[in-house]
Amino acid sequence: MEYILLIISAILVNNVVLAQFLGVCPFLGVSNKVSTAIGMSGAVTFVMVLATMATYLIYTYILLPLGIGFMQTITFILVIAALVQMVEIILKKISQGLYQALGIFLPLITTNCAVLGVAILVIQKEYNLITGVIYGGATALGFGLALIILAGIREQLELADIPKGMQGVPISLITAGILALAFMGFAGLV
């Protein structure tokens, strides 16, 4: 039951983008098409779960025993960068279309503060490895859910008659704000 509450909380109540405002850059940048948003969600989920696992193990078994826990941020950034490079190489070999569709945004996962934020939150909340990985996966699913919803709305907005001054980024920010308000409705759920 504890894990179910953690998953629901990470996906809906404490959504990493809409409640904690982490990962806003790829959230707004990749949400033009649903297909690209799905690909980005998959890549972020893969990286976030692996990064959570790797950073937890490095922090627990290397940094803490050596008494250099204060090096967690720089260490986590390096680990995440290495994992993103690995994902980029794999995507280039497996799915050339998805690799080209993601374009510049795939390397941006390296600087996606949602991935780093989750790795740090797992340590701060003193989760064990299993709970941390579940939290990382659920947070990534919440990121993907918000990204795909916004992409679907933005695709529909292209068909709408929007005043010229509101087209593009302004209507996207307003839509993201309304989406965040909608997710606030889940606040009493957990």
Give the Cα separation of 19 and 146 in Å (integer).
Answer: 11
As given in the structure block, the two tokens for residue 10 are: 């990470």
pTM exceeds 0.95, yes or no: no
Is 132:53 a contact under the CB 8 Å cutoff? yes
At 152 the pLDDT is 93
Give the Cα separation of 6 and 1 in Å (integer).
Answer: 9
At 58 the pLDDT is 96
Is 24:92 a contact under the CB 8 Å cutoff? no
DSSP labels, 86-145: HHHHHHHHH-HHHHHHHTTHHHHGGG-HHHHHHHHHHHHTT--HHHHHHHHHHHHHHHHH
Residue 19 has pLDDT above 70, yes or no: yes
Q: Report phi then psi at 104, rounded to 5.
A: -70, -20
Give the torsion sign (CA, 113, 169, 14, 44). Answer: negative
Residue 160 has pLDDT above 70, yes or no: yes
Q: pLDDT > 90: what percent of the chain?
A: 49
Residue 103 has pLDDT above 80, yes or no: no
When pLDDT is cut at 50, 70 and 90, the band that residue 136 belongs to is very high
Give the Cα separation of 56 and 50 in Å (integer).
Answer: 10
